[in-house]
Amino acid sequence: MKSVAMFNNKGGVGKTTLLCNLAAYLSIQMGVRVLLVDCDPQCNTTQLVMGEEFASSFYWNDHHEPATTIADLMRPIQEGDSQISDQFAPIYRDRNRFQCDVIAGHPDFSFLEDRLSLAWSEVSAGQIGGYRKTNWARLLCSKVAEHYDLILFDVGPSLGAINRSVLLGCDYFVTPMGSDIFSILGVRNIQRWLSDAIATYEHGVRRCDELTAGALDRYDIPRVPSIRSGFVGYTLNQYLTKSKGGERIATDRYEEILRKVPQEIAQLQANFGAPTLNGGDAKLGDVPHMYSLIPLAQTRAAPIGELASRDGIVGSHYKMIENYEGRMQEIATNFIVNTGLE
């Protein structure tokens, strides 16, 4: 089983759309058993996969159905414990068109930011309790590993304690990028942030061994987080040329940005690249612009590749969907190779 986070410090790069559609392709076309974990308090993954009607009822009625949210799983830590809840009841794949199990997000998950910040202070001081709380995502993965081939974590764009704990608990991460300078700056921020986090984590390990010898082994907590060599690729959103007065606006500025991307990614790969990456293998593929099909897919709570005439697909839409599925096949194939997912 592999665990992967989709992460960029830059918002608006289509991260959630990519994550959910990649998950659907892997599940429907390749038979991969996928669990989606929505760690964004805005709950975008839950809404996209389950639909707005489900989300309205689920959250407004305080989820009076047997489904575990991320806030439910984390309640023991919120209340001061060092481990997550043993209760695990995802929304099962037969209830959505993405054919993936889902641990629903919840706005209350944002309250964990302070609790996990305190836990991080304990990590820096070498306290075992801080390591146990910080490694909650890894513990979740170990609890459900026999049921899934892949666990995908969706997170927001912040460089806070929640996202740090998710990244440190995952095997790998993928960075979706847009054709803009802020995506590049986001990659630079990730490098500095992860470097500091890993340094603090590993420094605390030495102190923890002095204070509570053997505790890390007893709780199966790694001395070196997998994410140290966990970068397995990036995607790049294709940009749209614009027109003014019937003429195309020059795209030189976009092309200049795109020329900078390989250099930035090479640095990220040098510092955090997985051993499976070689040369240009970090690029999983390009993500085409889908115009009105994105909001249509959101409204229908469906993967783009599964949209059909009953969803309002007409004319040129079919060619766009075919093109998108071809791109998704490329991304999914490269993803499997780079993560070593069988």
If DSSP codes are grouped into helix, strand and coil, which group holds residue 302?
coil
Distance (Å, rounded) from C-alpha 333 to C-alpha 14? 19
pLDDT value at position 111?
A: 94
Distance (Å, rounded) from C-alpha 11 to C-alpha 315? 32
If DSSP codes are grouped into helix, strand and coil, which group holds residue 67?
coil
CA dihedral 24, 26, 32, 38 (to 10 degrees): -50
pLDDT value at position 260?
A: 82
pLDDT value at position 263?
A: 87
pLDDT value at position 63?
A: 58
Closest CA to 11 of 44, 46, 36: 44
pLDDT value at position 278?
A: 75
**Which residues, given as ranges, of the chain have pLDDT below 70?**
62-65, 239-253, 279
Is pTM beyond 0.85 here?
yes
